[in-house]
Amino acid sequence: MLVIVAPGQGAQTPGFLTPWLEDPVFEDRMHWLSAVCDIDLIHYGTQADAETIRDTAIAQPLLVASGLVAALALFPQPADAFRVIDLAAGHSVGEITAAAGVGVITAEQAMVFVRERGKAMARAAAKTPTGMSAVLGGDPDEVLAAIEAHGLIAANNNGPGQVVAAGKIEDLERLAKNPPPKTRVVPLQVAGAFHTHHVAHAVELLGRYARAITTHDPRTRLLSNRDGHVVHNGREVLERIVTQVSSPVRWDLCMQTMQDLGVTGMLEVPPAGTLTGIAKRAMPGVETFALKTPDQLDDARAFVEKHGEGSGPLDGNPTWRLLVSPMKGFFSCPDRQPVGATLEPGAVVGKVTSLRDEQPVVAPHGGTIVEWLVEDGDPLSPGQPIVRLHPVVSGS
């Protein structure tokens, strides 16, 4: 089982795009995305120094564009990707890359949205000198306690041995001088305390933009940073990306879902290395591939062929709409409607319960029940289809 992942801010390094631009098709696509977001991505990806590309307003569009264009280099015919990719996820701004990659939004929508996201977060972060630092190693409970004791927030939980603290610069400096036992504190190349209340002002603005964007449901299972759940409604995907700006990233829960599903291979798009590095420590037995340069493309395709299962659970007649399980658990539906019944928009068709959580399964657009795919009490895996609906056409 194959998962494709996209890294977040801090993964960028000076000149990382240089080898990719030897391909004229790649270069043309980067020129186009540069025009879309009105930023010279080629310059920033080849000539700019580390401090320049640390700027949030530059780093975020650069990351999303490079990931999307590299994915097209890997899958020149995008439809081929959905036959072999079983799962997709992105870390922080990488969620935009992943959402566009699985068809929730277009590449052009992604670039305009990420441009505005980067500018809004940069403005919010500029109000107070803030930053982020990775706390590596140590006891998880002691690390979280030390972060809180210094007035900081655990903005990213990236699994055992890596929690990212965020907050005011002076508080981060105090944490670095007095770290938790058996840890080291490493400042990150970001320009603010992202995924905290320090950038909450950006959420309202991005919410307005998001409401104007047309979305589609993902073409394969897509994980959310909020809780590691599979989200199969395009509108919800975008809403979660907006609110995630000021909420912690739970990459640890995303990796747990990957393991629950039986992922065997993880491929990271450029600038690659961060997420595959975490997976090597946190997901033993999962093979990783960090796609960093174009001379790796043939090996990357072989990796995809090895791990991609094909004929994913979301394949089917495009006139049907599937409702899928957001997480691992057991399905409960004591008042199940019969085949042929029409559900109103927002109707709850059941719930999924696990030891950790309970989530309703909602039909956001309503529809006519075509087929139930599970029974009351059945165990479910994340993203497993539950019921197939036929959309109700207005005026029919």
CB 20 within 8 A of CB 293: yes
Closest CA to 113 of 38, 31, 210, 194: 210
CB 121 within 8 A of CB 199: yes
246 is catalytic: no
Q: How far is CA 396 from CA 68, 365, 391, 392, 393, in A?
A: 39, 15, 11, 8, 6
Distance CA 166, CA 144 (A): 12
Which residue in the list 91, 150, 195, 198 is annotated as catalytic? 195
- In which residue are the tokens 């049907």 written? 320
CB 137 within 8 A of CB 161: yes
CB 147 within 8 A of CB 134: no
Angle at CA of residue 315, ends 314 and 321, nearest 5°: 60
91 is catalytic: no
Which residue in the list 66, 92, 224, 325 is annotated as catalytic? 92
Distance CA 270, CA 175 (A): 31
Residue 304's φ and ψ, nearest 5 degrees, are -60, -45
In this structure, what token pair is assigned to residue 319? Answer: 């006139």
Q: How far is CA 65 from CA 44, 269, 303, 346, 375, in A?
A: 12, 11, 23, 34, 42
CB atoms within 10 A of CB 341: 11
What are the catalytic residues?
A: 92, 195
